[in-house]
Amino acid sequence: MDFELSEEQKMLQRTVRQFVDDEIMPHIAHWDRNGIFDEGIIPKLAALGLMGVCIPEKYGGSGMDYNALAIVCEELERGDTAFRTAVSVHTGLNCMTLLQWGSEAQKEKYLIPQAKGDKIGAFALTEPNAGSDVAAIETSAKKDGQHYVINGQKTWISLSDVAEHFIVFAYTDKSKGHHGISAFIVEREWEGFSSKSIKGKLGIRAGNTGELFFDNLKVLVENLLGEEGEGFKIAMSALDNGRFTVAAGAVGQIMACLEASIAYCKERETFGKAIGQHQLVQQMIAKMEAGLQMSRLLVYRAGELKNQGKRNTRETSLAKWQATDFANQAADDAVQIHGAYGFSDEYPVERYLRNSKAPVIYEGTREIHTIMQAEYVLEYRKDKPLNKMLPAWDE
Ligand SMILES: Cc1cc2nc3c(=O)[nH]c(=O)nc-3n(C[C@H](O)[C@H](O)[C@H](O)COP(=O)(O)OP(=O)(O)OC[C@H]3O[C@@H](n4cnc5c(N)ncnc54)[C@H](O)[C@@H]3O)c2cc1C
């Protein structure tokens, strides 16, 4: 057990922190207020090797370990949830899924440009009538010679209008229930693909989220990811990686809440002393600190299991559930500490509160993770071996 970051990880942390301070902090209030997703940030992240930080160098990535991805997500979400979400779906849900399940040809064609950040990837599972209940998806893929023909609709897809490549889940055989779901690599440019942004979101307004439509979209058979019928397993293993990034981001969100609250505690005075001197305010600060430290330990434990090539569904679910709940509470308390000023966009904490809600919903709601944890403890749930594991980190 080693709780220290390596020199390389510390350098990465400093680099991302500086990037966030220089490139995100000065503009984020404007982007958030006006619903602008600044696409210019992506090539800058790519130039720093951050779009494929944990992808091996031979596949176009930076070759760092999986906890390096956690560090990137922590630091990005300290700036805003939108850019961490972009890395979550691009690296966590798409690139790492290609690394785990893709053929060499698929890695060559899709993973390499994505890990370099030249192309952006997203992940399309959720539908209007299917979120937590994945088996309720209705999108279908019918085989027709050398193609599958996909028809259906996805919703709440991050980077829907920005990504060039999507991992799309569809039924190839509905009669088999979730064993009949398959995963496909789909390109935006293909005929029959369209997307539309979702407006009026509570939070992550500086991010891009939307709907996808597939109208007789023809996908070559070589773009089937894994085997026919393996889509459900692929989706769940992708979520092991996506949830890890969401949990790490929540750590960054708590850091941001603490930073803003500490400054305000020292600046604002009531009853003749700084509000940080009042015990009930200290209680909120102490809860943030506890949430920060506990969440970070849970995240790094899950990352270490990934580094060792071990199954981590249980540990990642716990980290995601706890970290996002702590972050949501920290943001609520940060607004409380700021009093009426916390209710205004003059301070960033109202944005933190709005942003902290989606991570409690996406990639498994609070309720789904609660159920998972209870089922593991009660031994109603056991993880079966997967055909393909995420490769261990090769130093
Ligand atoms: C900003 C944002 C970005 C997103 N990005 C993506 C993306 O990139 N790709 C993608 O595929 N999806 C994405 N999603 C979708 C997200 O993953 C789903 O919203 C999530 O899985 C929940 O599904 P749902 O919204 O349909 O809620 P539902 O599944 O309809 O759940 C509604 C409520 O019922 C509860 N509930 C459901 N089943 C149970 C149960 N068995 N026991 C107890 N309670 C239950 C839930 O916890 C929730 O409180 C995104 C969502 C948001 C908000």
Catalytic residue among 363, 367, 375, 379: 363
Question: Does 134 contact ligand 1 (Cβ within 6 A)?
Answer: no
Given pLDDT bands bounded at 50, 70 and 90, which one contains residue 368?
Answer: very high
363 is annotated as an active-site residue: yes
Which ligand 1 atom is nearest residue 367's CA? 47
* CB under 8 A, 24+ apart: contacts of 2-10: 3/300, 5/67, 5/71, 8/64, 8/68, 9/64, 9/65, 9/67, 9/68, 9/71
Residue 209: is its pLDDT beyond 90?
yes
pLDDT score, position 295: 98
Question: What type of residue sits at position 90?
Answer: H
Question: Does 166 contact ligand 1 (Cβ within 6 A)?
Answer: no
Question: Does 367 contact ligand 1 (Cβ within 6 A)?
Answer: yes
334-367 tens-digit pLDDT? 999 999 999 999 999 999 999 999 999 999 999 9
Question: Does 123 contact ligand 1 (Cβ within 6 A)?
Answer: yes
pLDDT score, position 211: 98
96-151 tens-digit pLDDT? 999 999 999 999 999 999 999 999 999 999 999 999 999 999 999 999 999 999 99
For ligand 1, atom 1, the nearest C-alpha belongs to: 358
Q: How far is the CA of 128 from the centre of ligand 1 (A)?
A: 10
Tokens of 7: 């020199």
For residues 186-208, give the mean pLDDT. Answer: 98
pLDDT score, position 62: 98
Residue 385: is its pLDDT beyond 90?
no
pTM of the model: 0.98
Per the prediction, the chain carries an average pLDDT of: 97
78-88 tens-digit pLDDT? 999 999 999 99
pLDDT score, position 307: 97
State how far the Cα of 224 lies from the Cα of 234, in Å rounded to an integer.
12
> What is the percent of the chain where pLDDT is above 70?
100
Q: Are 119 and 110 in contact (CB under 8 A)?
A: yes
Phi, psi of 29 (to 5 degrees): -65, -40
What percent of the residues of the chain are helix, what percent strand, and what percent coil, each to the nearest 5? 55, 15, 30
Given pLDDT bands bounded at 50, 70 and 90, which one contains residue 12?
Answer: very high
State how far the Cα of 152 lies from the Cα of 148, in Å rounded to an integer.
13
Residue 395: is its pLDDT beyond 80?
no
Q: How far is the CA of 237 from the centre of ligand 1 (A)?
A: 17
Q: How far is the CA of 125 from the centre of ligand 1 (A)?
A: 10
For ligand 1, atom 37, the nearest C-alpha belongs to: 132
Tokens of 153: 């609709």
- Pocket test of ligand 1: the residue of 97, 123, 132, 162 to mutate, having most ligand atoms within 8 Å of its CB, is 132
Question: Does 358 contact ligand 1 (Cβ within 6 A)?
Answer: yes
Given pLDDT bands bounded at 50, 70 and 90, which one contains residue 1?
Answer: confident
- Pocket test of ligand 1: the residue of 37, 127, 361, 375 to mutate, having most ligand atoms within 8 Å of its CB, is 361
Given pLDDT bands bounded at 50, 70 and 90, which one contains residue 394?
Answer: confident
270-306 tens-digit pLDDT? 999 999 999 999 999 999 999 999 999 999 999 999 9
User: Distances from the Cα of 289 to the Cαs of 5, 33, 333, 358, 372, in angstroms?
Assistant: 19, 29, 12, 22, 26
Q: Which of 102, 106, 90, 222 is nearest to 166 (CA)?
A: 90
Q: How far is the CA of 238 from the centre of ligand 1 (A)?
A: 16
Q: How far is the CA of 156 from the centre of ligand 1 (A)?
A: 9
